[in-house]
């Protein structure tokens, strides 16, 4: 997984990124989803406790029927401002 705050590998890396993030999520509004047999693109607003919403996009690439890569794009600045000027490490979100 590649995200604005780093690159995360495998099952452990996925949880390293997502576990802290999902603790902040209060809802999700899907804006658009596109895809085919190997690639999906989802654009959505994540509704979060520290900020009203965070617009993000994810591109998920499949290889041999399993997730091979996830690329996430979002603006870190709203989170940085909510956490005192710098984007927090995920363990600081818990």
**3-state secondary structure at position 4:** coil
* 31 pLDDT more than 60: yes
pLDDT of residue 89: 56
pLDDT of residue 30: 83
Query: Model confidence over 12-23: pLDDT tens digits?
Result: 998 988 888 889
Confidence band, pLDDT 50/70/90 cuts, at residue 40: very high
Whether pTM > 0.85 for this model: the answer is no
Token pair 């989803």 is found at 33
CATH of segment(s) 2-93: 3.10.450.50
Inter-residue contact 26 to 49 (CB < 8 Å): yes
pLDDT of residue 55: 93
- How crowded is residue 73: how many other Cβ atoms within 10 Å of its Cβ? 13
pLDDT of residue 84: 81
What does the domain layout of the chain look like in residue ranges?
A: 2-93
Rg (CA), the chain: 14
Q: Supply angle C-alpha 71, 10, 12, rounded to 5.
A: 110
């Amino acid at each position: 997984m590649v995200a604005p705050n780093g690159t995360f590998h495998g099952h452990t890396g996925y949880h390293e990124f997502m576990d802290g993030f999902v603790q902040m999520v209060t809802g999700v509004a899907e804006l658009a989803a596109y895809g085919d047999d190997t690639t999906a693109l989802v654009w959505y607003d994540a509704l979060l406790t520290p900020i009203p919403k965070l617009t993000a996009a994810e591109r998920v690439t499949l290889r041999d029927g399993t997730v091979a890569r996830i690329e996430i794009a979002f603006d870190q600045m709203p989170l940085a401002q909510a956490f005192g000027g710098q984007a927090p490490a995920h363990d600081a979100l818990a």
